[in-house]
Structure 1
Amino acid sequence: MDVFGDLFRGVRAHGSLFGSTTMTPPWALHFVDGAPLTLCTVLNGTGWIVPEHGAPEELRPYDTVVVRGPESFTFVDELDTAAEPIACGEFCSTPEQGGTTHRLGWNDNADNGVGATTLIVGAYPVRGEISRRLLDALPVVLRVEAGGTGDPVLDHLAAEVALDVPGQQVVLDRLLDWMLVCTLRAWFDRPGGEAPAWWAAQRDPVVGEALRLMHAEPAAPWTVSSLADRTGVARSTMAKRFGELLGEPPLTYLTRWRMTLAADQLIERESATVAAVARTVGYADPFAFSAAFKRVRGINPSEFRRTAAGVARR
């Protein structure tokens, strides 16, 4: 598993909120769900994404915007539109309510005349500490122009939304996953962009292989020497190149990754002891694990679990 694939594991469309609507000006849709990630694209027409805090982003045909929650945002026909905003959130899920989020999608078709805009929206849950590292690498709003690898996916989405057939939700979920991956890849690879360090490091023949090994076998007793041996370079070369590309030593990266994995296990495996969780991430000694966890996360494993459980109950 590569770094991007690992961080993406908790970002999945699974019966996610999805909608398609065709609107004629003026319109103003205010999205108040606070979803961790919301993907918006237009198949035809134009509009503006206006985040709660940040600069507006124009959407032209096949442009895509990803908005990071929990802040709300608005989609409008013009920045100075005269339309009253319709609040689209948990209860805004049918055409009668003016919503654009719905489990199976719907098409308003109010007036498909000149100036009409067809909007597709997918709201993503993001589960676990692992995927939060992906969110941390993203701005509040990122925009990818049309003409990339996501265009064929949008063609499939448009075709699927027009249908009413068994299994449609499954197809939409997979297409949304595909679209989100294509969009984030394009954004990370954009000229002059500031992608996270691990994105470029994955392509380095030495550091990329070391990252793949640590992500594939996080509990293995890795040392800088063993990573160097597996990648066919000297220990000094491994340490130098890893530090240059990622800004930290290999074993520091490994410890942070192990603690991220452990954090998710502490939440998901409620009956597992701290010692059991420690073993899954390469620590035979639960005390050494607890010390490492507190050093990285600022709280010991038991306190972290209790705090996470309290948040989940609320």
Structure 2
Amino acid sequence: MDPLSQLLAHPHAEGAFTLLMSMRAPWAVRVEDESALTVVIVTSGGGRLEAGGVGHELATGDVALVRGPLPYRVSDAAGSATLAIIEPGQRCVTPDGAPLDLALAHGLRHWGNDPDGPDTMIVASYADVGSVGRFVTDVLPDAAVLPAGALDPALVAHLAREIARDDLGQSVVLDRLVDVVTIESIRTWTAAHPPARPTWVGGVGDPAVSAALRAMHAEPERAWTLAALARRAAVSRATLAARFTDLVGTPPLRYLTSWRLALARDLLVDRSLTLDAVAGRVGYSSGFALSTAFTRAFGVSPAAYRRRLAEGPRRVGAEPG
């Protein structure tokens, strides 16, 4: 799978925290939950999103992708006072720390200062997207706003209907719909906004580079060489190396190493897999070979990384070391 396909395959990306927020002006919420990625869909009214020092006016139908883990702010207007802060674990407090979870809850997946407020937004947050997911989130700005109509309105309307239902299997249905909206939003944004610097996204439009990327993404366990990748891409080794480096920003085999180690970091979350098993899945001959490469890249061994994962949640986006 390519990085976008892998984005939601990581164990920590399963089950975005999703709710409908309904607000009446004046209102402002500061989000400090450290989520890796959040999707905000304005279903009525409007608002303002501030992320990375930049403000974005939002109208009905707009969709915003907010890249974590830095804080952001949503409000009805720039000068409105903050009424709630969302902390890690989706804990809601007042600016002075008093609990607000129950005071602003209005039933199933519904939250806000007024259950009938005119400003409504679906908010879906992924606490973690894994190391491979960061291949995707790293190509996004702090906030990427898609105008109304950029996504299929029927898809957004379906999600809006489902969020209030409580039928059998509802959580699974809602999770899948949020996943589809997230993927479609990223697809739409990256298609309209080519990255300013070389990344794997830049190579997708080149037939030869795209073929090499697909090969590495699909079969990371294979003993790829530049010659084998060039044959798959139907170009010479020199041509592939030059095009790949120019568009992706790194030589093919160096990219392959980064991809394999990102996959390994995500696989290490599953403690049922031995180090040798992880190594085999990502193209290393043994656990020792993987450990050597992993330690060289991140300054910490796979075993030590696993211990840190077991000690508790790590900050989203943090490097292993």
TM-score, length-scaled by structure 1: 0.84
Partner of 1:6: 6
Deviation at 1:98, TM superposition (A): 1.6
The share of aligned pairs that are identical, in percent, is 37
On the 8 A contact 2:131/2:265 being kept in 1, the answer is: yes
Secondary structure at 2:33 match in 1: coil
- C-alpha RMSD of the superposition: 3.0
Partner of 2:174: 172
After superposition, the C-alpha distances for 1:72-128 in whole angstroms (9 at most, x for unaligned) are: 3322111122x551234534499852258x8x4237794758xx2121111112243
Secondary structure at 2:18 match in 1: strand
On the 8 A contact 2:66/2:142 being kept in 1, the answer is: yes
Partner of 1:139: 141
Secondary structure at 1:21 match in 2: strand
Partner of 1:41: 41
Gaps of 5+ in 1: none
Secondary structure at 1:67 match in 2: strand
Deviation at 1:307, TM superposition (A): 3.6
Judged with a 3 Å threshold, the aligned counterparts in structure 2 of structure 1 residues 303 and 197 are, in CA distance, closer, same or farther, namely same
Deviation at 1:48, TM superposition (A): 0.8
On the 8 A contact 1:41/1:59 being kept in 2, the answer is: no
Alignment equivalent of 1:97, drawn from 98, 103, 107: 103
Deviation at 1:57, TM superposition (A): 1.4
Q: Which amino acid aligns with 1:180?
A: T
Hey, what's the Cα distance between the residues in 2 that align with 1:4 and 1:72? 24
Partner of 1:291: 292
In terms of Rg, which structure is larger?
A: 1
Hey, what's the Cα distance between the residues in 2 that align with 1:2 and 1:26? 43
- 1:1-314 alignment, distance < 5 Å: 1-10=1-10, 14-51=14-51, 53-81=52-80, 83-89=81-87, 90-92=90-92, 96-99=102-105, 104-106=108-110, 110=114, 116-191=118-193, 194=196, 197-269=199-271, 272=274, 274-312=275-313
Q: Which amino acid aligns with 2:5?
A: G
Deviation at 1:217, TM superposition (A): 0.9
Moved more, 13-22 or 238-247: 13-22
Secondary structure at 1:284 match in 2: coil
Aligned length: 307
Deviation at 1:28, TM superposition (A): 2.0
Deviation at 1:11, TM superposition (A): 7.9
On the 8 A contact 2:7/2:129 being kept in 1, the answer is: no
TM-score, length-scaled by structure 2: 0.83
Moved more, 24-33 or 281-290: 281-290
On the 8 A contact 2:44/2:61 being kept in 1, the answer is: yes
Secondary structure at 2:22 match in 1: strand
